[in-house]
Chain A
Amino acid sequence: MPGSPSEPHEPSEPYEPSEPYESAAPYEPSEPYDLAVIGAGPAGLAGAVTACELGLSVAVLDAAPQTGGQYFRHPAPGLGAARPQALHHDWSEFTALRGRFEASGVTHLPHHHVWTVRPPDGDGIWTVHALTGPDAHGGTPARVRARTILLATGAYERQLPFPGWTLPGVIGAGGAQAMLKSGLVLPGRRIVVAGSGPLLLAVASSLAAAGARVPAVVEASGYLGYARRPYALAAGPHKLLEAAVHGSALLRHRTPLRTRSAVTEAHGTDRVEAVTVSRLDRAWRPVPGTGRRIACDALAVGHGLVPQTELATGLGCATRRTPDGTHALALDALQESSVPGLWAAGETGGTGGWDLARTEGELAGIAVAARLRGLPALTRSRRARALARRRDRLRAFADVMAAAHAPGPGWTAWLPDDTDVCRCEEVTAGSIRGAAGALGARDARTVKLLTRAGMGWCQGRMCGAAVACLAAEGGRGGGRGDGAGGGAEGGTAQGTVPPSAERRPLAVPVPLGALADLPEESGRPGPPTDGPTADG
Chain B
Amino acid sequence: MARDRNPADLVGADPGPPFEITFDGSAVTALPGQSVAAALWGAGILAWRTTRNGGRPRGAFCGIGQCYDCLATVNGEPNRRACLVPARPGDTVTTQEGHGHAGLAV
| Residues on A with beta carbons closer than 8 Å to the beta carbon of B104 | 509-512, 534-535
A137–B80 touching, CB < 8 Å = yes
Instruction: Please pick, from A137, A157, A171, A535, the residue contacting B101 in the complex, using a CB distance under 8 A.
Output: A535
Does A210 lie within 8 Å of B105, measured CB to CB? no
* In the complex, chain A residues 202-255 whose Cβ is within 8 Å of any chain B Cβ: 209-211, 213, 253
Residues of A within 8 A of B38 (CB): 179, 182-185
B105 touches A179 (CB 8 A): no
Residues of A within 8 A of B101 (CB): 457, 509, 534-535
Q: Answer yes or no: B93 CB below 8 A from chain A CBs.
A: no
Residues of A with C-beta under 8 A to B79? 137
B42 at the binding interface (Cβ < 8 Å): yes
Q: Which residues on the A side are within 8 Å of B53 (C-beta)? A: 426
**Would you call B58 and A186 a contact (CB within 8 A)?**
no
Q: A439 at interface (Cβ–Cβ under 8 A)?
A: no
Docked pose: A271 CA to B43 CA in angstroms: 15
Residues of B within 8 A of A211 (CB): 2-7, 9-10
A86 to B10, CA, bound (A): 6
A156 interfacial by beta-carbon distance below 8 Å = yes
Residue in chain A with minimal CB distance to B35: A183
Interface flags, B15-56, vs A, CB<8A=1, else 0:
110000000000000011111011101100011000111101
Q: In the complex, what residues of B have CB within 8 A of residue A168's CB?
A: 46-47, 57-59
Cα-based distance from A169 to B32 in the complex (angstroms): 24
The answer for the CA separation of A157 and B11 in the assembled complex, in Å, is 25
- A462's nearest neighbour on chain B, judged by CB, is B67
Name the one of A455, A458, A510 contacting B67, with C-beta atoms under 8 angstroms: A458
CB distance from B80 to the nearest CB of A (A): 6
CA distance A432 to B11 in the complex (A): 45
**Which residues of chain B come closer than 8 Å to A513, judged between CB atoms?**
103
Chain A residue with the shortest CB-CB distance to B4? A211
Residues 51-87 of A, flagged 1 when their CB comes within 8 A of B and 0 if not, give 0000000000001000000100001111111111011
A413 is an interface residue with CB less than 8 A from chain B: no
| Given A78-B15, A179-B63, A512-B47 contact (CB < 8 Å) | no
Which of A176, A511, A526 interacts with B63 by CB under 8 Å? A176
Which DSSP category, helix, strand, loop or mixed, fits chain B's interface?
Answer: loop
Q: Does A515 contact B (CB under 8 A)?
A: yes
Is A500 interfacial (CB-CB < 8 Å)? Answer: no
Nearest B residue to A270 via CB reads B57
Q: Does A172 contact B (CB under 8 A)?
A: yes
Is there an interface contact between B105 and A135, defined as CB atoms closer than 8 Å?
Answer: no
A196 interface contact, C-beta 8 A: no
In contact, B32 and A76 (Cβ under 8 angstroms): yes
CA distance A182 to B8 in the complex (A): 11
Q: Decide if A384 is an interface residue (CB 8 Å cutoff).
A: no
Assess whether B60 is in contact with A175, with CB atoms less than 8 Å apart: yes
CB atoms of A77 and B33 under 8 A apart: yes
| CA A80 to CA B41, docked complex, whole Å | 19
B105 adjacent to A75 (CB under 8 Å)? no
Nearest B residue to A188 via CB reads: B46
Determine if A79 and B84 form an interchain contact, defined as CB atoms under 8 angstroms apart.
no
Instruction: A384 to B96: give the CA distance in the assembly, Å.
Output: 52
Q: Which of A508-535 contact B (CB under 8 A)?
A: 509-513, 515, 526-528, 532-535
Within the complex, the shortest CB–CB distance from A60 to chain B, in Å, comes to 18
Are B14 and A456 in contact, with the CB atoms below 8 A? no
Q: Is A175 a contact partner of B62 (Cβ separation < 8 A)?
A: yes
Report yes or no: A75 in contact with B37, Cβ–Cβ below 8 A.
Answer: no
Which B78-106 residues have C-beta < 8 A from chain A? 79-81, 83-86, 99-106
**CB-CB < 8 A to A183: which residues of B?**
33-35, 37-39, 41-42
Q: Check B64 against A175 for contact (C-beta < 8 Å).
A: yes
B77, chain A: closest CB distance, angstroms: 7
Interface string of A19-32 (1 = CB under 8 A from B): 00000000000000
Does chain B have a CB within 8 A of A461?
yes
Given contacts A137-B77, A183-B38, A185-B38, contact A527 B105 (CB under 8 A): yes
| Shortest CB distance A65–B (Å) | 8
Option from B8, B54, B63 in Cβ contact (under 8 Å) with A171? B63
Q: Is A187 an interface residue (CB 8 A)?
A: yes
Interchain nearest-CB distance for B1 vs A (Å): 11
Q: Which residues of A contact B102 (CB under 8 A)?
A: 535
- Interface status of A261 (Cβ within 8 A of chain B): no
User: Among B9, B86, B105, which residue has the most Cβ atoms of chain A within 10 A?
Assistant: B105
Which chain B positions have C-beta within 8 A of A63? 65, 84
Contact A175 B63 (CB under 8 A): yes
Q: Which residue of B lies closest to A84 (CB)?
A: B11
Q: Report Cα–Cα, A72/B35, bound state, in Å.
A: 17
Interface contact A534-B105, CB-CB below 8 Å: yes
A178-B63, A426-B53 are contacts. A458–B15 as well, Cβ < 8 Å?
no
**B51: which A residues are within 8 A, CB to CB?**
426
Question: Is A174 positioned at the interface, with any CB of B under 8 Å from its CB?
Answer: yes
Write out the residue numbers on chain A whose beta carbons fall within 8 Å of the beta carbon of B58: 166, 168, 423
User: Is B10 a contact of A456 with CB atoms below 8 Å?
Assistant: no
A278–B3 alpha-carbon span in the complex (Å): 29
Q: Are A75 and B68 closer than 8 Å at their CB atoms? A: no
Is B105 in contact with A506, judged by CB distance below 8 angstroms? Answer: yes
Q: How far is the CB of A42 from chain B (nearest CB, A)?
A: 15
Q: Min CB distance, A460 to chain B, in Å?
A: 10
Contacts of A455 in B (CB 8 A): 106
Residues of chain B contacted by A458 (CB below 8 angstroms):
66-69
Interface residues of A (CB under 8 A from B): 63, 70, 75-84, 86-87, 134-135, 137-138, 156-157, 166, 168-172, 174-180, 182-187, 209-211, 213, 253, 270-271, 298, 420, 423-424, 426, 455-459, 461-462, 506, 509-513, 515, 526-528, 532-536
5 closest A-B pairs by beta carbon, nearest first, are A183-B38, A175-B63, A78-B32, A78-B33, A76-B33
